[in-house]
Structure 1
Amino acid sequence: MSETFELVLRGSSVLIDGAFRPAEIAITGGRIAAISDTHLIGIETVELADDEVLLPGLVDSHVHINEPGRIEWEGFASATRAAAAGGVTTLIDMPLNSIPPTIDVPSLEIKRAAATGQIGVDIGFWGGAVPQNLGTLRTLWDAGVFGFKCFLSPSGVDEFDHLSADELDLAMAEIAGFGGLLIVHAEDPTVLDAHANDGGADYRRFVESRPDQSEVTAIARVIEGVRRHGTRAHILHLSSAAALPALRAARAEGLPITVETCPHYLSFDEEHIPDGATEYKCCPPIRSNANRDLLWQGLVDGDIDIVVTDHSPSTAELKFAGDGDFGAAWGGIAGLQTGLAAVWSEAQRRGIPLQQVVGWMSRGPADLVGLTDRGRIEVGARADLVAFAPAQEFTVHASDLQHKNPVTAFEGRELRGVVRSTWLRGRLTDDVPHGELLTRA
């Protein structure tokens, strides 16, 4: 080919169509213009190092950025820096824990205005489905949100109420009416109330307060609603493998339901979490090692579709409130920058290839939200790309991360896989933010 492109990336191991092979990637106008085994001409040419592979940028559809309103927890600038450092080029921001939450068009516009000019990667937004906005969800959909998040039990913040069983049914009927997507934090409040305890430093007691049955019961209710209304539904942050048989049966039935899990559920287990170590607190909780094995098997078998971080940071003061009391500490794990390395490290130990991990964390989430121009290396796709050194090891230190607060459950953990460079639309991510605000196509 005699055409001259803006940028050519050359690598001995490029992930194309689910397999690694030598290739040259030509980029013009922010998109992949050509893929070739032969010499392509670029105004600029970058040769990847021998120990680097070229991956599509990851898509993380479950991130709490918290701006505006709780910017001391996280913000658009710090979150997108962390994303780029971790190989993530597209984020979809949750409607909480910002103030106001994204539950109507004016609050969406406030959030978009807050993000403008300071995002280092692309960002879209989920809307919220709460009791107060049922019947008006179509306006948010038409304004470009990617779907609607709801809680079936208290969310942890007063300004984002959970849906009762009847309200869930109303929301599912409404969303099905315009072909939207409902994403669900599925824990049943009745089960949680029946197992509530007085907290304390014992991690096992915390897990007992949020048993598997809370997820199993809530997910069964979602499946019933999908069957009744035909609503597209997505189960967020699956923690309990006990729910997999019901989900597997629902999907075999042809119901439009998808499932995600998170790096912390795939990396940690209940048996190795020390008492008082509230950096590991999240809801639903990290469960047993046997449960973790079943989650991995669910991914391999296709019962779980994607892996996203549920990056849910807070200040250190909130995360360690109560001096080790799991009942008092904020529940949420900051894992945006470490997600790829954490999942790859454990996957490699289990003999799972890198291309499968990348599929769960790039193409899968992109397809979930309808952004099919990214999460893959193919002609016409966005030139969102990552140079990744899969064999390089490092130790996680919170002080080295780009997250606003130096708190991570991965502190001191030895991981494998380092992001060396991240390109957004063919341009290296740097200190000049050039991310875009996304709306649903």
Structure 2
Amino acid sequence: MITADLVFRAQRALVSPEDSGRPVERPATVAVRDGAVVAIFDLDAPVTLAAGGREIVLADDEVLLPGLVDSHVHVNEPGRTEWEGFASATRAAAAGGVTTIVDMPLNSIPPTVTTQALAIKQAVAAEKAVVDVGFWGGAVPEHLDDLPALHAAGVFGFKCFLLHSGVDEFPALDLAGLEKAMRIVAELDALLIVHAEDADVIDHAPAADGPTYARFLGSRPSGAENLAIAHVLELARRTGARVHILHLSSADAIPMIAAARRDGVRATVETCPHYLIFRAEEIADGATQFKCCPPIRGTDNQDLLWQALADGIIDCVVSDHSPCTPELKRFDSGDFGAAWGGIASLQLGLPAVWTAARDRGHELAEVVEWMARRPADLVGLPTKGRLAVGAAGDLAVFAPDETFVVDPGRLNHRNPVTPYAGRTLSGVVRSTWLAGRRVDTAADAPAGGSLLRRSGSEATAAGADLVGAGRP
């Protein structure tokens, strides 16, 4: 007889198969002990509760999911905490069913390009995070020699830009620098994640000035993405490096990515909810809350992104949560050229993608596969993003048929700016559980998350993923 601290009984649970493929929906009793799933039984199986243990019986309209993993989050702290911060970002994550985030190396000050900067960011996160947090390192021209030390310190890989990043303290790599970074990454068997837009193409495109969305779209042509992705794939072929294409917007690049994979290039790719939900034809002039880079493109392009997801060419869906203060969106002028490019959606990713996916005939299991296991596998967290024996007790209780209207003022994001405002979405996260404990998303909630480091890093004790635990 299994003894558990926490037991869930669910008519509908998305249970991961042993081969780590797409989860299967079935009735289940899930037993959690010491922060991990210790058994998955039939619905009516007996389980002994430990002293002080708790049994949760899900309602008929609820589904038990593994906690989601969002590997593309700009928390911006320290340095630009008025844009976001670990307290607000991780509360938003938990409210959206996300139990693990991986923080981008910008737009914090200092950016995470040295082990000293990493330590500063970790110290801040440890005091505030209510979900688990990992970190990407940065690959910038002056700090490529710091990549091995960052790798040893446990970052999950390295991010680079091929054009201006939007902040001066995180400069781009030229092609020679990109090749150098890839050779270092290949030697480490690490992962290089790339914002792939070609600077020269964009420099020769029309300016983005003014409130017209079509003009902004023309300033970031799909050819800029396509050319940059071609450079990344060719250098990955040449160096043997593992590469990941961030926030794919241009569907034109999909055949090229598929062909490179067939040739043995170690390349993965993500897209984001906003590319799957919004369409360029529907964005009003001056609506700078929709500005992101690369930009939201047209309906035909979106259809091809969905097809690539279904075909497995696009590996995962992550938020690219990149918030800012309302002033930086330039709502006073509606000038797309001057406005900050980034979309806040960390809390809304699951319902947004589920709403659109269901309309296209996809199942909830597919959405969870794209947003939980595959991002976890991308960063090398084998106990995350799945509901299986031995996995972390990170879970979400989700009501897929309940609808709500997005009110920015009720979100946990620091600033009430999102293009989802006023949109009706399906799917409400009713509770989120981290290592078997319910996450408190109140503004004064104590930190309960842990800092994550890559398994096998020098700073990780006994090969575990968790360090610097903040859990009580």
Alignment TM-score > 0.5, same fold: yes
In structure 1, what is the Cα distance between the partners aligned to 2:264 and 2:213?
38
Measure the CA separation in 1 of the matches of 2:399 and 2:319. 20
Q: Distance in 1 between matches of 2:206 and 2:71?
A: 30
SS class of match (1:195): coil
Q: Which of 5, 24, 40 lines up with 2:47 in the alignment?
A: 40
Backbone CA RMSD of aligned residues: 0.8
Aligned equivalents of 1:116, 1:384: Cα separation in 2: 18
Q: Could you tell me how far apart the structure 2 residues matched to 1:434 and 1:297 are?
A: 38
Q: For residues 148-227 of structure 1, what are the structure 2 equivalents within 5 Å?
A: 148-227=158-237
Q: CA deviation digits over 1:178-230, x for unaligned, max 9?
A: 11100000000010011031511110010000000000000000001110000
Counterpart of 1:10 in structure 2 is 9
Q: 1:322 Cα shift?
A: 5.6
Among candidates 23, 26, 46, match of residue 21 of structure 1: 26
289, 305, 321: which one aligns with 1:311? 321
CA distance in 1, matches of 2:188, 2:100: 25
Mapping of 1:27-66 within 5 angstroms? 27-37=32-42, 38-42=45-49, 43-66=53-76
Amino acid across the alignment from 1:14:
A
Q: Distance in 2 between matches of 1:229 and 1:32?
A: 40
Q: How big is the shift at 1:39? A: 2.2
Structure 1, gaps ≥5 residues long:
none
Q: What's the TM-score, normalizing by structure 2? A: 0.92
User: Offset at 1:5?
Assistant: 1.1
Conserved 8 A contact 1:33-1:379: yes
Q: 2:446 is matched with which residue?
A: 432
Kindly indicate whether the alpha-carbon contact (under 8 Å) linking 2:194 and 2:243 is maintained by their aligned counterparts in 1: yes
SS at match of 1:249: helix
Distance 1:196 1:132, change over 3 A: farther
Count residues with an aligned counterpart: 440
Counterparts in 2 of 1:198 and 1:371: CA distance versus 1, 3 Å: closer
Corresponding position of 1:88: 98
Q: For the Cα contact (< 8 Å) 2:96–2:346, is it kept in 1?
A: yes
SS in 2 for 1:328: coil
Post-superposition Cα deviations, 1:354-394, rounded to whole Å, max 9, x if no partner, equal: 00010000000000000011100111100000000000000
* SS at 2:334 equivalent: coil
Instruction: Give the equivalent residue in structure 2 for 1:366.
Output: 376
**What is the correspondence of 1:214-293 to structure 2 with a 5 Å cutoff?**
214-293=224-303
Rounded Cα–Cα distance in structure 2 between residues aligned with 1:53 and 1:204:
41
Q: Is the 1:321–1:328 contact (alpha carbons within 8 Å) kept by the matching residues of 2?
A: no
2:199 aligned partner, one-letter code: P
1:56-80 deviation digits (Å, cap 9, x = unpaired): 0000000000000000000000000
For the residues of structure 1 that align with 2:8 and 2:118, how far apart are their CA atoms? 37
Residues 332-411 of structure 1: matches in 2 within 5 Å? 332-411=342-421
Unaligned runs of 5+ in 2: 17-22, 456-472
- Counterpart AA for 1:436: S
Consecutive aligned runs of 4 or more in structure 1 exceeding 3 Å deviation: none
Q: What per-residue deviation string (whole Å, max 9, x for no partner) do you get for residues 400-436 of structure 1?
A: 1000000001000010000000000000001232100
Deviation at 1:163, TM superposition (A): 0.2
Query: Do residues 130 (structure 1) and 144 (structure 2) align?
Result: no
